[in-house]
Chains A and B, each alone.
Chain A
């Protein structure tokens, strides 16, 4: 299946520090989506990016889609304890949907 790699696998930050997770694909993606899964919960859709070089913001979260549409990043400014969870990128190819391996974020108060 399509490979969507995500780094880092784990990240611990002090509250107030910034956080970034990166998503990379060996093939061109038609779109990229980001999901957040709280501990013990299920993934929840955050955003979708479609255009080359697209940047979208949601409050302290900034999402980017690379120019070649092969990579994407999620940046959180000034993390808060409510940001704790695992962040997944994903993309659909036809009828299937492929998720990245996820980045687990721990925020230390």
Chain B
């Protein structure tokens, strides 16, 4: 069953701790993305990667870091430098072709106490 998985669904952390959110896909897509969604807000791009070992900053990259060591995996680290980390984090991969589509994982809801 192909798709994107994110774990965990809910995550609680204390202020000042780094936390890593996982994102795995078995769709064989080259491109992967991380978005942040705040209540009643749209999707804001944090980081994206077009290929293994390469990634670019999105509009709100400050306080976040990523790695892309494998095609299937694109983990996001929320560092203590992120001033307001509580949010819903969505990972997506992109299928290129006649229809250029983004496939989203179920998301991780991070709460920093």
Q: How many residue pairs bridge A and B at CB < 8 Å?
A: 54
In the complex, what residue of chain A is closest to B33 when comparing beta carbons? A97
Assuming the contacts A45-B102, A48-B99, asked whether A95 and B56 have C-beta atoms less than 8 A apart, the reply is yes
Question: Which of A9, A41, A43, A45 sits near B43, CB closer than 8 Å?
Answer: A43
Q: How many residues of A contact B (CB 8 A)?
A: 24
Check if B59 sits within 8 Å of A1, measured CB to CB. Answer: yes
CB contact between A48 and one of B40, B48, B101, B104 (< 8 Å): that residue = B101
Interface residue? B78 (CB, 8 A):
no
Distance (whole angstroms) from the CB of A50 to the closest CB of chain B:
9
Contact mask B43-60 → A, CB, 8 Å, 1/0?
101001010000010110
B residues contacting the other copy or chain, number (CB 8 A)? 24
Q: Does A100 contact B (CB under 8 A)?
A: yes
CA distance A43 to B94 in the complex (A): 13
Could you say which residues of chain B place their CB within 8 Å of the CB of A44? 104
Instruction: Tell me, yes or no, whether B85 is within 8 Å of chain A by CB.
Output: no
Main secondary structure of the interface of B (DSSP, over half): strand
Q: CB distance B43 to A99 under 8 Å?
A: yes
Q: Which residue of A lies closest to B44 (CB)?
A: A99
Query: In the complex, what residue of chain B is closest to A6 when comparing beta carbons?
Result: B42
Q: How far does the Cβ of A33 sit from chain B's closest Cβ, in whole Å?
A: 7
Q: Which of chain B's residues have a CB closer than 8 A to the CB of A43?
A: 43, 90, 102, 104
B window 66-113: CB within 8 A of A = 90, 94, 99-107
Q: Is the CB of B100 within 8 A of A90?
A: no
Question: CB distance A97 to B45 under 8 Å?
Answer: yes
Give min CB distance, A102 to chain B, whole Å: 5
Name the interface residues of A33-84: CB closer than 8 Å to any CB of B: 33, 35, 41-45, 48
Given contacts A42-B105, A42-B106, A97-B94, contact A92 B43 (CB under 8 A): no
Give residues in A with beta carbon < 8 Å to B: 1, 6, 9, 31, 33, 35, 41-45, 48, 88, 90, 92, 95-102, 104
